[in-house]
Amino acid sequence: MRSTGPGDRLRRALPRRGRVGDRDGEGRAPLAPWLRWLMLVPLLLVTLVVVRQEVPAVTSSADPVSSSPPPDTGWFRTLPAGSWTQLPDDRTCTERVRRSTWEPRPDNHTPNRTTPDVETVHASFAARPRAVAGGYDDRWDSWLPQRVTGAHTGTTDENIQWAACKWGIADNLLRAIAVRESAWFQYQVYPSGRCVAQVGCGDMTTGDVPGHRLFCTAVSRHGYDYRQDYPAGVCPKTYSIVGVMSWHDPRWGPMPENQNGTFPFNRDSTAFALDYLGAFLRGCQEGWLHWLGNTGDGSYAAGETWGCVGAWYAGSWLTPPAREYVGRVRAALDDRAWLTSDWAAYEPPCSPAYGCPRGR
């Protein structure tokens, strides 16, 4: 483990917040600076309900369990465009995870060991097809969402490894995005149940308009009523360790309850959130987001990994907000924030109004 602490280097890696519009709901606003790292401010949803299962982590027989963090170089590499036909399945990637008791975010224990009901996940996506009007390649609907399962349990880093293996994305890249989005917290709440902004939820809807009310009502049916914490028409759009967007703006095309099919799976399951991010990056890497070619400088093409990272945040191709986000993810990647000596010691600060955060 590196001996240096976050300091100035992590201040540039862990960002500020302020939102740009996104085309399909994958982008998010920048996170506010934390304390030392980030300053925290004190669907039809298919009616089936996600099944939350507490399952013991599956231990690979290939490697002994250690207590060490991942190596500086990581375990997996990003595979080139065209690799989608050769990607390993859930079980294979479970076996390839390097097991370790190292857990810098023990508050993630429950979501780390929660898996959604796969049939419910797939029904939610099937109710919200994307490949209409030429905006996406047909495989975005026919192949990619059928691989998103969230069917893994383990430590925070083991879930990161699993998703990286499954989608052919470098595990260190996923670690760096998670630094940028949440400092690796899946979902923090105050004692009242109110979610902690920028540590698992954020990017609020703004304005009491019918579309926002419809969305906020929909997400409030799943375990927590967000409407009690905010003004009418205001609730979080994004959830999870990697900021998975659930909001779908009706201007982009109709979807049941203005929700893209990810909620509540992205909030409740770390593995699902990482699985979904991996799916987005792989589909983008393959060149399947045709609408991105109508954004930014119009140069969207398969195989441009960093452009896809920017699109995850900004919903556009190599625009200034996308480039700024890429710069911060690169900083987190270069600094290996998760290997700094005080990474595990960080806790989101208490709020005078709401109390001290904890895991859900």
pTM: 0.86
pLDDT at 40 over 80: no
Residue 126 pLDDT more than 90?
yes
Looking at residue 63, its pLDDT comes to 62
**Residue 185 clears pLDDT 80, i.e. is over it:** yes
**Residue 204 has what DSSP assignment?**
E
pLDDT score for 318:
97
* Per-residue pLDDT tens digits for 203-252: 999 989 999 999 999 999 999 999 999 999 999 999 999 999 999 999 98
Give the pLDDT of residue 101.
97
> Which residue intervals of the chain are DSSP H helices?
7-13, 90-96, 109-112, 118-126, 139-142, 144-147, 156-167, 171-182, 210-219, 265-268, 270-285, 305-314, 320-335
- Minimum mean pLDDT range among 58-62, 64-68, 279-283: 58-62
Give residue 133's pLDDT.
Answer: 87
13 has pLDDT over 90: no
Q: What is the pLDDT of residue 12?
A: 45
Between CA 277 and CA 159 the distance in angstroms is 12
Q: How far is CA 303 from CA 58, 203, 213, 215, in A?
A: 33, 29, 38, 34
Instruction: State the average pLDDT over residues 137-151.
Output: 97
The whole-number average pLDDT for the span 108-129 is: 97
Mean pLDDT of the chain: 86
| CA 20/CA 317 separation, integer angstroms | 13
DSSP assignment string, 20-42 = ---SSS---PPPPPBTTTBPPP-
Helix, strand or coil, per DSSP, at residue 115? strand
Task: List, for residues 90-99, the tens digit of each pLDDT value.
Answer: 999 999 999 9
Instruction: Enumerate residues 6+ apart whose C-beta is below 8 A from 35.
Output: 349
pLDDT above 90: residue 38 = no
How far apart (Å, rounded) are the C-alpha atoms in residues 185 and 105?
A: 7
* Beta-carbon contacts of residue 230 (< 8 Å; ≥ 6 apart): 204, 216
Which long-range contacts (C-beta less than 8 Å, at least 24 apart) are formed by 33-38? Answer: 34/183, 34/198, 34/348, 35/349, 36/6, 36/7, 36/10, 36/11, 36/346, 37/6, 37/10, 37/11, 37/183, 37/346, 38/14, 38/183, 38/198
The pLDDT of residue 89 is: 98
Say if residue 9's pLDDT is above 90: no
Q: For residue 20, is pLDDT > 80?
A: no
CA 358 to chain centre: 19
Does the pLDDT at position 36 exceed 80? Answer: no
